[in-house]
Amino acid sequence: GAGVSQSPSNKVTEKGKDVELRCDPISGHTALYWYRQRLGQGLEFLIYFQGNSAPDKSGLPSDRFSAERTGESVSTLTIQRTQQEDSAVYLCASSLNRGSLNTGELFFGEGSRLTVL
């Protein structure tokens, strides 16, 4: 597609349930990032994919959080046994990250707003 697409746009869930958030990056972008943004705050790095592998997953806050990417395309962020502190907007971004073509610029989706009751 023309831009980074995320779904669902909004998700309300009950504490203890699992949720899956999906990101479709810009076609051809090899790098994909997940960030978390709590209300009124900055962006907190979660995980970075280069192709289908994740060289940097240092930002995942606990083992309840996991992510995968397939076909160097779609990525899914899964949060198991959700807690109220997981409520936030989860932003996905992609980047063309190949040597001289690498500008460092990230293209962001509009985010998935997660509310845990």
Partner 1 sequence: AQTVTQSQPEMSVQEAETVTLSCTYDTSESNYYLFWYKQPPSRQMILVIRQEAYKQQNATENRFSVNFQKAAKSFSLKISDSQLGDTAMYFCAFMTHVGGSARQLTFGSGTQLTVLP
Q: What is the DSSP string of the chain?
A: --S-EEE-SEEEE-TT--EEEEEE--TT--EEEEEEE-TTS-EEEEEEEETTEEEE-TT--STTEEEEE-TTS-EEEEE-S--GGG-EEEEEEEE--SGGG-----EE---EEEEE-
91 binds partner 1 (CB under 8 A): yes
Asked if 48 interacts with partner 1 (CB under 8 A), we say yes
Q: Does 41 bind partner 1 (CB under 8 A)?
A: yes
Residue 63 sits in the site that holds partner 1 (CB under 8 A): no
For residues 25 and 111, which CB has a smaller minimum distance to partner 1 in the complex? 111
Q: Which of 26, 75, 82, 109 binds partner 1 (CB under 8 A)?
A: 109
Asked whether 45 and 59 are in contact (CB, 8 A), the reply is yes
5: its two tokens: 């697409």
Q: Does 23 bind partner 1 (CB under 8 A)?
A: no
CB under 8 A: which stretch of 13-21, 37-45, 62-70, 76-84 binds partner 1? 37-45
Residues in contact with partner 1 by the rule CB under 8 A: 31, 33, 35, 41-43, 45, 48, 50, 56, 59, 89, 91, 93, 95, 97, 99-100, 102-106, 108-111
